Amino acid sequence: MSKPILIYIDADACPVKDETYRVAARHRLKVFLVANSWIAVPREAEVERVVVSAGPDVADDWIVERVEEGDLVITADVPLAARVVAKGAEAIGPTGKPFTAASIGMQLATRNLMADLREAGEITRGPRPFSPRDRSEFLQALERSIQRLKRKGFLAG
């Protein structure tokens, strides 16, 4: 009944690809790097590059069509995270912030409010620069998610 844990990376602007590869290799997990342009990937058999056609949400749709419970998605895209969580998979942002069924509604509302303010001409700050602390938080969150999935009976390696 158990299935292997698969990791999907929404790769176009992901700053933690290398960290994900290292953790996945340690646990012998398959990683799909999904983007709408060619991106270099390590030569390990566990990392697969998926190049989708250009267009809004094409990479997101590819991920959502395949992801299922027991999988993990790395993304900063809140609408994609909401779709993933709705399918029972886990999602983590590059700063280590988890997207959960309990938090995704508020995260979507905040994202939409900020988009509306920008469209109305309000000056809003963009995200703060990615920091070493963000990288560390991500690594911890990724390890916690993998361990939680293993405890639920999903397979690594």
> What is the pLDDT tens value at each position of the chain, 157 positions in all?
479 999 999 998 899 999 999 999 999 999 999 999 999 898 877 999 999 999 889 999 999 999 999 999 999 998 999 999 999 999 999 999 999 877 776 676 666 666 666 777 777 666 678 899 999 999 999 999 999 999 999 987 6
Residue 113, amino acid? L
The pair of three-digit structure tokens given for residue 106, joined into one six-digit string? 């508020």
What is the secondary structure of the chain as a DSSP string?
---B-EEEEE-TT-TTHHHHHHHHHHHT-EEEEEESS-----S-TTEEEEEPPSSTTHHHHHHHHH--TT-EEE-S-HHHHHHHHHTT-EEE-TTSPEE-TTTHHHHHHHHHHHHHHHHTT-----PPPP-HHHHHHHHHHHHHHHHHHHHTT-B--
Annotation: CATH topology of 6-151: Rossmann fold (3.40.50)
Q: What's the pLDDT tens digit per position in 59-92? A: 999 999 999 999 999 999 989 999 999 999 999 9
Residue 15, amino acid? P
